[in-house]
Amino acid sequence: MEKTASIKSQRRLRMTLTYLLLIAMVVIIVYPLLWTIGASFNPGNSLVSTSLIPKNPTLAHYQRLFAGEGTLLYGQWYLNSLKISFFTMILTLVSVSFTAYAFSRFRFTGRKNGLLLFLLLQMIPQFSALIAIFVLAQLLGMINSHWLLILIYVGGQIPMNTYLLKGYFDSIPLDLDESAKLDGASNTRVFWQILMPLARPMLAVVAMNGFTGPLGDFALSSVLLRNPEYYTLPIGLYKLVTDKMGASYTTFAAGAILISIPIAVVFVLLQKNFVSGLTAGGTKG
């Protein structure tokens, strides 16, 4: 009996510590978010407040974002970010699907070296090539070009997402391919009609990665985009709080909160496949 009671007490202690840890993590994550939301409705330009809920809440900061005052082109920055994120997501899906399929289903010269190269590229931070990218953009006359930025983002997404999707393709039995080919299906048909529908969970993960990456990038976009009308949201909001003549941290908070809307929409659209895709990415290989 004493041994049973001791085991139960140990379980309760572990459960208590687990819940305390989870609560602490939630507080660490949620508190700054609630503070930012409260600050976006707080009158004035300062984030300093005695409570999370403003005493005199106002929508003035949200109205200012879309009023088009001076160089505050928030609506244009929002559209620029959505355009870059959308096309990055689409091109990433297309390119990663082909590369992952090739590495998973075919054996060719340089396959192992290609996978090793992808692994090495994953380890190199993208900002380490900022100078080279800037010089290349100048030589091509593509400063302020969203399309060059999209291509660079897509290139940066390929190595990691190829590994994820290849691992998922590897988990799909080759018997399906062989059965389809016995019925006269080509490699193209096998790819589009068998593998791609089965890989929807991991494709959802790749799509989410491709969409959210550009929305949060500052370093690369700030090097290539120099004119205010071409800015993305991270650059525009940064300029908003570094403007010595009229820095507004509460307007910055309002703008930062609105960035989460497209991410939430994409997540809702992909959520049925998203969770299973993340689980598969951690267990399939």
pLDDT tens digits along 197-227: 888 888 998 999 899 989 888 888 988 998 8
Query: Considering the domain boundaries, does residue 52 fall inside one?
Result: no
- Residue 91: inside a domain, yes or no? yes
Distance, CA of 102 to CA of 119 (rounded, Å): 16
Q: Which two tokens stand for residue 7?
A: 């085991």
* Mean pLDDT score of the chain: 83
Q: Which residues span the domain enclosing 104?
A: 73-244+260-283
Q: What is the mean pLDDT of residues 12-28?
A: 86
CB 267 within 8 A of CB 208: yes
Question: What's the Cα-to-Cα distance from 67 to each of 59, 64, 79, 242, rounded to whole Å?
Answer: 12, 5, 15, 20
Residue 162: exposure state from Cβ atoms within 10 A (0-12, 13-18, ≥19): buried
Specify if 123 maps to a domain.
yes
Q: Of 10-14, 46-50, 117-121, 127-131, which gets the smallest average pLDDT?
A: 46-50
**Domains in the chain, number:** 1
Residue type, 149: L
Q: Classify 54 as helix, strand or coil.
A: coil
| 164: nearest Cα among 93, 268, 270 | 93
Q: What is the CATH number of the domain that holds 215?
A: 1.10.3720.10
- Tell me the angle at which helices 233-242 and 249-283 cross, rounded to the nearest 10 degrees: 150
Q: Is the dihedral of CA 132, 78, 215, 257 positive or negative?
A: positive
